[in-house]
Amino acid sequence: TDFTKARQLKQADWMIDLERRAIAALVKLGVSMTDTCINYQTVLAATRGEHVAFGDTGVVIYSNSVCGARSNFEGGPSALSAGLTGRTPRYGFHLDRNRQATLRVRVGWTPESLNDWGALGAVIGHIAGNYWAVPVVEGIERAPTSDELKHFGAAMASFGSVALFHIVGITPEAFRLSDVAGDRLPEHRAGRAEVKALQQSYAADSKVDVVVFSAPQLSLYELRALADLCDGRKFQIPLLAVTSPQVKPDSDRFGYTGRIEAAGGTVYSGMCFYQSYAREIAEANGWKTLATNSAKMVNILGGYGYVPILASMEECVDAAQTGRLG
């Protein structure tokens, strides 16, 4: 939780107390409480070939794929054990043989918005469908930004349990298709039509109760884009933007936080929306329908009792102002 704003979310005392106890226990073990799921954009990015033991699936897939580091999906106990011992089991994506492509996907279209990148990741995740699948993607016509790759990978991991992908000519291990043995694989196709179909499955022309930008936490550049969209508006419904403790001070310093909150939004730091008792805070606030530009989050929040809607950042901000999407 963001302890400075827990009351705004109507988080109960027991939630806050449990969080404080967990933090105190971890600090006693010597854990650095960075409170972020985007450490590769803020604290320290793993380097190519570095063996790490990360738990968050979005961190793992980004570190494996974009950074070229090596990690499996670790649970809390196994990641903690790696920290205590300095060792992690030698299997899975630590080994060269498991980093070769097993699925070849050609896309005939390069996404532009974060929503589209996330949806494409979700489509490829659906095709892959298991942890040991390693997609190699062809046809991306420009170098994606860090935020685009963040949403792409986070959604692929969420929808398909994928821990590693390659993009030919972009990610470090796939300068050529043959570098990851993708030239030996049959070709699957995914493009705009499949992305639109997935987005439509999370679309609705309806009243919206809350708008949330989270999962992954927002970078400074995402907050700048959001601040630009918030200028001159007054929101009718809550808009929540979640970032990391490392990014929040710069957002404050550059005026992005003030501009978002002047419109009626709230910028939270160091929390994860769906890990912050999402069901309980929905009940406490009377939230049901939630709009977001995160494909990862719409895949998760249905299980917490929400009706999630996937839309662009622009559409979500419009919904915060009007109370409706569509």
pLDDT attached to residue 204: 81
pLDDT in tens, 177-233: 999 999 999 999 999 999 999 999 998 888 999 999 999 999 999 999 999 999 999
Report pTM. Answer: 0.96
Query: How much of the chain exceeds pLDDT 90, in percent?
Result: 98
136-173 tens-digit pLDDT: 999 999 999 999 999 999 999 999 999 999 999 999 99
Q: Which domains are delineated in the chain?
A: 34-201 (no CATH), 202-325 (3.30.499.10)
- In sequence order, which residues have a C-beta less than 8 Å from that of residue 260 and are 6 or more positions away? 223, 226, 227, 230, 239, 241, 266, 267
Q: How far apart are CA 316 and CA 321, in angstroms?
A: 9
Q: Look at residue 249 in the predicted model and tell me its pLDDT.
A: 98
